[in-house]
Structure 1
Amino acid sequence: MSRLILILGDQLSHTISSLEGADTALDTILLCEVMAEATYVGHHKKKIAFIFSAMRHFAFELRDAGYRVRYTRIDDECNAGSFTGEIARAIAELSPSGICVTQAGEWRVKSELEALAAAFDLPVDIRPDRRFLATHEEFQRWAEGRKSLTMEYFYREMRRKTRLLMQGDEPVGGRWNFDAENRNPAKPDLLRPRHPVFEPDEVTREVIDTVARMFPNNFGTLKNFGFAVTHKEAERVLASFIDDFLPNFGATQDAMLQDDPFLNHSLLSFYINCGLLDALEVCQRVERAYLDGGAPLNAAEGFIRQIIGWREYMRGIYWFAGPDYVDSNFFGNDRPLPGFYWSGKTHMNCMATVITETIEHAYAHHIQRLMITGNFALLAGIDPKAVHQWYLEVYADAYEWVELPNVIGMSQFADGGFLGTKPYAASGNYINRMSDYCGACRYDPKERLGEKACPFNALYWDFLARNRDRLKSNHRLAQPYATWARMSEDIRHDLRAKAAAFLRRLD
């Protein structure tokens, strides 16, 4: 009995559950580049090229391993344009006895997969995605009945489950979390090692040409494409991170530098999220580096927390909250996304730098996303759904299950505290402390009301003032509200007037 085994573009793992028990003599593996997935948002050109190239290389690996592979390219004349359409074509030609697939990572694709059995009158085996540590049921059991879904407590459960950085029942070093030691600014360092980049091979060059031809108006550039597109190349990125960047990763993970967009970050999220690397194995390698004396505990723990803590927690929240979570809008924000989010053309140097780097690399690290582009959108009252769509489009590591809760819940506080304990709102002072952006900016982060005053300053106080009724009971905002209350009435009026004038220009 032959089966059709569908592998999605973010399931490029040889240990994916859909391949378990596959019969190389009878079963057919189906991978397909389809327009429905390439266009449900206007993805960054490099994101499309990265995923398509990784898919094609994975198909070659499967063929070399003896599997029968059916592959549809985005520009094939007979491409049906959707998973369902491509499955229909494969069924018509192959007459399989059933369909097998690993569960989808997003609500949209989940619905399409669940409709397959009725559409084709065939048994459909939808298997769990075992690349994640917590099943949907485990997260639901953890979350139900809790007054607060604090990530820290979930993270501790994952530490206990994986035994990472554990001594018996206690965390190594006597503390679960070393985040307080991971908030240092960074200095330019010409001797910092270079992150590995990969010269596109013939397969990737063909993909790049296709993307340039078929998606000419999408965000971003295809120039200097250097992503790893195979498991072997992704392993080189991992090895480089552990040897060259992990020792200094922890202390500077929140820092931002004008001419160093990557600093000591791992650049592994692209490859973990699409399946080229296994998340748990990556964390075990990082733990081994610490145990062997190759990295300090604050660096190893900080990295592992991002993977088994925050990443797993985001996925859990995404499925626990349900498909309507995307419509959350606690503040009622409705301002359109400003045009400079697409061009990078703004006098605010922090915004211009991060957006320009995003155009070039399809990447920005977590603090750039949270405290620059996300912070500005929150302060300016931009529609959180529009912010969510932008993040989903512009980053090569963005999939809805991880991006949506990060934006709606953490960055924009649009869920009113379902995920986070406070809005991540900050003035220009934070940006000046954690980056060197302000030195090259026309605005001064130390000024609040003059012509050179940083827009983040007035916007920050205006955000607090206009949302006072919603936020005044949040104990984590007691100090800034006390500061606002101590200001003179004239100063408060002038700050709000300056914010209003800026927002009128923005509109």
Structure 2
Amino acid sequence: MKLRLILGDQLSLTLSSLTDLDPQNDLLLMCEVRSEATYVKHHKKKIAFVFSAMRHFAEGLSGKGLNIRYVKYDDPNNTGSLFGEVARIIAQNAISEVVLTAPGEYRLQTEMAGWSAKLDLPVTIKDDNRFLCTPTEFADWAEGRKQLRMEYFYREMRRKHSILMDQDGPRGGQWNYDSENRKPPKSGLEIPDTYHAQPDDITQEVIALVEAHFPDHFGDLLPFHFAVTRDQALEALDEFIAKRLNLFGDYQDAMIQNEPWMYHSHIGFYLNCGLLTPLECVERAEAAFHKGTAPLNAVEGFIRQILGWREYVRGIYWLKMPDYKSTNFLEATRPLPDFYWTAETQMNCMRQCITETKQNAYAHHIQRLMVLGNFALIAGLDPDEVNNWYLLVYADAYEWVELPNVTGMVLFADGGQLASKPYAASGAYINKMSNYCGSCKYKPTVKNGPTACPFNYLYWDFIGRNDGKLRGNPRMGFMYKSLDRMSDEKRQAVQDDTRRFFTAIDTDEKV
């Protein structure tokens, strides 16, 4: 009898560890364990989502007549770790081999590589077949390249999978329509709500469990409306394509107060736990373009996020780990401010994005990058603390996708291995792409003084503080020319405002 372990982010019937399943003899194992729920203090809604999706998936496997052992979190015999549960099952059954699909996080891969010796049994770890590019293929693509830019990888993926291609090149004559996807918000937009699933008895039981066992974890548990089955996830995907994809391209960078979902798909939850597969999402979006229900800039932009960016950051993760986790190119050391947890700040953009993160275990990519991440970058926040925050607060966050996005894209902590320049911006960008600034104490048009937007002076402090690290970056030349033209009086004002701002944070004053 083989024991086949299914992890909480591997909820796919096509999983590689199940391809040669012997339904009559093999034993499947799924377990909710403390070590995975608490290695960072995950958002309550994230834990509820994963546990509920796991239980529904296990119920589906049982309904197919498969022999599955499911260990709930509050089972009195639960050892609290994946290895402990595997060892417990082996002690109770005549297991000849353990089979599993490769985990998505390096820490688990390292741990599982030692299981065979500990268990005195063969442990077969199969490649994860739910991605469109294997780590080996990515490493082959990266070999010999001076710069690993996503755009060139994305083009190769488009060719490989024949997505949005004509005989002579990319559909429409361009590979990338990002320049058409940056419209600021305008009044009168009718934004459809995100997908809502009604919690069933299984989900209600999980919600009660999370409330009882994780009361001190970040975030709001209710209301809960995530999809927790494959059928529901497909409904969420279809609803996005029917109702929001047509305007996704135009407004994917826009932010509107009290509109957390905008025109985004919100399927990262379901892709990253296995309820959806990347190619089916890409192909359904491409079909919408061919039917004429969504424009090319929207469809290409959506496909680029999945076929390009998602596969690319996973490739970077496995190529660069474990050293990637400890990179800190800009030598940033400032602790994460308390307002990342409480949302108690007078910076309205930060308050909105943190509040919505707390409520929904979600924020869209511009909120994550250009508000929350932008502040972390220009304030010089410690990469370890920022990475832990992003990993635990978002329900779609697993280290393989979170770490490259934060270390590379948000913080430039890898020194440019992923991004060609730091994504630092002043308050003018936030003012352009959102309506947050109109309800803020601070003014984006004021550069210095107590009413100035903190992003304005922190931006220039960041540029000056990192002169030795960034001046040589060809994409930073304009900024350093502007800094060089800055008067001594202006430079002193930037330093004074920055010092005042950080002193206020350090003394628990509301900023």
TM range (shorter): over 0.9
Q: Which residue of 1 aligns with 2:401?
A: 402
Aligned to 1:251, what secondary structure does the other structure show?
A: helix
**How far apart in 1 are the matches of 2:440 and 2:96?**
63
**How far apart in 2 are the matches of 1:169 and 1:191?**
38
Q: Which residue of 2 aligns with 1:236?
A: 235
Q: Which residue of 2 aligns with 1:43?
A: 42
**How far apart in 1 are the matches of 2:215 and 2:187?**
35
Q: Which residue of 2 aligns with 1:322?
A: 321
Q: Which residue of 2 aligns with 1:18?
A: 17
Q: Counterpart amino acid of 2:262?
A: L
Q: Which residue of 2 aligns with 1:413?
A: 412
Residues 329, 415 of structure 1: 8 Å contact kept? yes
**How far apart in 1 are the matches of 2:186 and 2:61?**
45
**How far apart in 2 are the matches of 1:466 and 1:191?**
43
Q: Which residue of 1 aligns with 2:218?
A: 219
Q: Which residue of 2 aligns with 1:197?
A: 196
Q: Which residue of 1 aligns with 2:273?
A: 274
Superposition deviation, residue 493 in structure 1: 1.3
Q: Which residue of 1 aligns with 2:93?
A: 94
Alignment of 1:311-350 (within 5 A): 311-350=310-349
User: Structure 2 stretches of 5 or more lacking a match?
Assistant: 507-511
Q: Counterpart amino acid of 1:257?
A: I
Residues 177, 301 of structure 1: 8 Å contact kept? yes
Say whether residues 1:125 and 2:124 are aligned partners. Answer: yes
Q: TM-score, normalised by structure 2?
A: 0.98
**How far apart in 2 are the matches of 1:216 and 1:423?**
37
Q: Counterpart amino acid of 1:275?
A: G
Deviates more, 1:180-189 or 1:359-368: 180-189
Q: Which residue of 2 aligns with 1:138?
A: 137
Q: Which residue of 1 aligns with 2:509?
A: none
Q: 1:226-269 deviations in whole A, cap 9, x for unaligned?
A: 10000011011001000000000001001100021111000000
Q: 1:82-102 deviations in whole A, cap 9, x for unaligned?
A: 111000111111211111100
Aligned to 1:207, what secondary structure does the other structure show?
A: helix
Superposition deviation, residue 127 in structure 1: 0.8
Superposition deviation, residue 505 in structure 1: 1.4
Superposition deviation, residue 192 in structure 1: 2.6
Aligned sequence identity (%):
56
Superposition deviation, residue 185 in structure 1: 1.1
Q: Counterpart amino acid of 1:329?
A: N
Q: Which residue of 1 aligns with 2:361?
A: 362
**How far apart in 1 are the matches of 2:501 and 2:134?**
46
Residues 102, 128 of structure 1: 8 Å contact kept? yes
Aligned to 1:42, what secondary structure does the other structure show?
A: coil
**How far apart in 2 are the matches of 1:260 and 1:26?**
51
Aligned to 2:251, what secondary structure does the other structure show?
A: coil
Aligned to 2:272, what secondary structure does the other structure show?
A: helix
**How far apart in 2 are the matches of 1:6 and 1:360?**
32
Alignment of 1:352-391 (within 5 A): 352-391=351-390
Say whether residues 1:106 and 2:110 are aligned partners. Answer: no
Superposition deviation, residue 190 in structure 1: 6.4
Q: Counterpart amino acid of 2:421?
A: K
Q: Counterpart amino acid of 2:480?
A: Y
Q: Which residue of 2 aligns with 1:175?
A: 174
Q: Counterpart amino acid of 1:348?
A: M
Residues 391, 398 of structure 1: 8 Å contact kept? yes
Deviates more, 1:429-438 or 1:488-497: 488-497
Alignment of 1:299-310 (within 5 A): 299-310=298-309
Q: Which residue of 2 aligns with 1:159?
A: 158
**How far apart in 1 are the matches of 2:191 and 2:113?**
49
**How far apart in 2 are the matches of 1:58 and 1:352?**
36
Residues 12, 276 of structure 1: 8 Å contact kept? yes
Superposition deviation, residue 168 in structure 1: 2.4
Q: CA RMSD in A?
A: 0.9
Q: 1:328-383 deviations in whole A, cap 9, x for unaligned?
A: 11111111000000000000000000000000000000000001111101111110
Aligned to 1:250, what secondary structure does the other structure show?
A: helix
Residues 133, 312 of structure 1: 8 Å contact kept? yes
Superposition deviation, residue 500 in structure 1: 1.7
Superposition deviation, residue 169 in structure 1: 4.9
Say whether residues 1:496 and 2:486 are aligned partners. Answer: no
Q: Counterpart amino acid of 1:448?
A: K
Superposition deviation, residue 113 in structure 1: 1.7
Alignment of 1:252-291 (within 5 A): 252-291=251-290
Does the C-alpha gap of structure 1 residues 169 and 386 become closer, same or farther in structure 2, counting only changes over 3 Å? farther
Residues 193, 261 of structure 2: 8 Å contact kept? no
Superposition deviation, residue 187 in structure 1: 2.7
Q: Which residue of 1 aligns with 2:466?
A: 467
Superposition deviation, residue 191 in structure 1: 3.5
**How far apart in 1 are the matches of 2:456 and 2:477?**
18
Superposition deviation, residue 450 in structure 1: 2.9
Aligned to 2:246, what secondary structure does the other structure show?
A: helix
Superposition deviation, residue 23 in structure 1: 1.2
Q: 1:9-42 deviations in whole A, cap 9, x for unaligned?
A: 0000011111102111101110000000001001
Aligned to 2:3, what secondary structure does the other structure show?
A: strand
Q: Counterpart amino acid of 2:364?
A: H
**How far apart in 1 are the matches of 2:139 and 2:494?**
44
**How far apart in 2 are the matches of 1:428 and 1:215?**
37
Q: TM-score, normalised by structure 1?
A: 0.99
Q: Counterpart amino acid of 2:460?
A: W
Aligned to 1:329, what secondary structure does the other structure show?
A: coil
Q: Counterpart amino acid of 2:410?
A: S
Superposition deviation, residue 116 in structure 1: 1.6
**How far apart in 2 are the matches of 1:317 and 1:139?**
8
**How far apart in 2 are the matches of 1:298 and 1:501?**
44
User: Structure 1 stretches of 5 or more lacking a match?
Assistant: none
Residues 449, 497 of structure 2: 8 Å contact kept? no
Aligned to 2:13, what secondary structure does the other structure show?
A: coil
Superposition deviation, residue 451 in structure 1: 2.2
Residues 318, 401 of structure 1: 8 Å contact kept? yes
Q: Counterpart amino acid of 2:59?
A: F
Superposition deviation, residue 120 in structure 1: 1.3
Q: Counterpart amino acid of 1:477?
A: M
Superposition deviation, residue 465 in structure 1: 0.5
**How far apart in 2 are the matches of 1:314 and 1:29?**
30
**How far apart in 1 are the matches of 2:432 and 2:88?**
57
Q: Which residue of 2 aligns with 1:250?
A: 249
Which of structure 1's runs of 4+ aligned residues deviate more than 3 A?
Answer: 188-191
Q: Counterpart amino acid of 2:343?
A: G
Aligned to 2:330, what secondary structure does the other structure show?
A: coil
Q: Counterpart amino acid of 1:199?
A: Q
Residues 160, 169 of structure 1: 8 Å contact kept? no
Aligned to 1:4, what secondary structure does the other structure show?
A: strand
**How far apart in 2 are the matches of 1:81 and 1:111?**
18
Superposition deviation, residue 189 in structure 1: 4.2
Residues 160, 166 of structure 1: 8 Å contact kept? yes
Deviates more, 1:107-116 or 1:83-92: 107-116
Say whether residues 1:78 and 2:68 are aligned partners. Answer: no
Q: Which residue of 2 aligns with 1:440?
A: 439
**How far apart in 1 are the matches of 2:440 and 2:171?**
43
Residues 188, 260 of structure 1: 8 Å contact kept? no
Q: 1:160-205 deviations in whole A, cap 9, x for unaligned?
A: 1111101125100011000000001123546332222112110000
